[in-house]
Amino acid sequence: MRRSSSPGRLKDLIDRGDCRLNQVAITVLDEADQMADMGFMPQVTALLDQVRPEGQRMLFSATLDRNVDLLVRRYLTDPVVHSVDPSAGAVTTMEHHVLHVHGADKQRMTTEIAARDGRVIMFLDTKHAVDRLTEHLLSNGVRAAALHGGKSQPQRTRTLTQFKTGHVTVLVATNVAARGIHVDNLDLVVNVDPPTDHKDYLHRGGRTARAGESGSVVTLVMSNQRREMTRLMAAAGITALTTQVRSGEEALNRITGAQTPSGIPVVITAPVAERRARSASSRGRRSPASGARRVAVRQSAFDAAA
């Protein structure tokens, strides 16, 4: 069976006759709360109804609200619950900073943070904002790459590989990167756009301070976002250090390692093997007409020589 990217994709494979679930003995539903938030619950229940009822079922979720508790009652028999407190873990292994910024200064400050020594993930709300910031950082000499739902799976895989190996030092992302991605020795996550939900904050921040390492989560907050950010941090059970900063200030460097970018534009290229594969594929796609023209040219040259 091919890997499905959503319940809808798996349903499509079943409808086409490419997949059957009646012999599935072990079923794992990951990110159940995220499935509920995205409106996938009807598709999820339709799929769970097709697996063997006596099989083992496991469910992973940040919360048991938003209809996730319905899945537990309907599909899990005498379940064993293993629970951790994500907010407590976040408090003990991370530093949390809320930086009060001025709107006109926000992009410059973001650029200086991105130019730090070391890798950083920067989160924004939309894929268009991600693309715009990535282009801006590249033009200012920062090795950045974008990760969002508009990228194909091969593009995402390549970007993450480049980030993990240090070929790219700044990963600019939407919430698509907030769950399920592990990067060793990542010590800074920046919420350029504050999240709207405390669970999203915890998942974003969870990309740093992994495997017992330390890390910092920095959120840039403008004046009209302060009240909502206070409410969000309270819901997450986190007390953050709040600082009012401007670009170029020592406090910004102390908290994030920010520095002035080189200003020399950079171009992030695909690995050599990938470029060769694309080149070979392009050669293989030459049209029959172009091949016929080459034969005709050679034949004309032969006739002339004769």
Residues 3-16 have pLDDT tens digits of 445 687 888 889 99
Number of folded domains that form the chain: 2
**pLDDT above 70 (res 86):** no
- For residue 148, pLDDT over 50 is answered with yes
Of 45-54, 166-175, 246-255, minimum mean pLDDT range:
45-54
Under the banding of pLDDT at 50, 70 and 90, the label for residue 291 is: very low
Confidence of residue 279 (pLDDT cuts 50, 70, 90): low
In this structure, of 16-20, 213-217, 244-248, 299-303, the range with the lowest mean pLDDT score is 299-303
203 and 107 in a common domain: yes
Domain interval for residue 67? 7-75
63 with 132, same domain: the answer is no
For range 70-80, the mean pLDDT: 84
Using the predicted structure, report yes or no on whether residue 201 has a pLDDT greater than 60. Answer: yes
Q: For the range 158-167, what are the long-range contacts, defined as Cβ-Cβ under 8 Å and sequence gap of 24 or more?
A: 158/270, 158/271, 158/274, 162/268, 163/119, 166/119, 167/143, 167/268
Q: Which of 41, 75, 109 corresponds to the end of one domain?
A: 75
Say if residue 11 is in the same domain as residue 99: no
- Judge whether residue 98 has pLDDT over 70: yes
**Residue 154 shares a structural domain with residue 243:** yes
Evaluate whether 102 touches 225 at the Cβ level (below 8 Å): no
In a domain, 175, yes or no: yes
Closest of 139, 157, 156, 137 to residue 148, by C-alpha: 156
60 and 198 together in one domain? no
pLDDT at 76: 86
Share of the chain above pLDDT 70, in %: 77
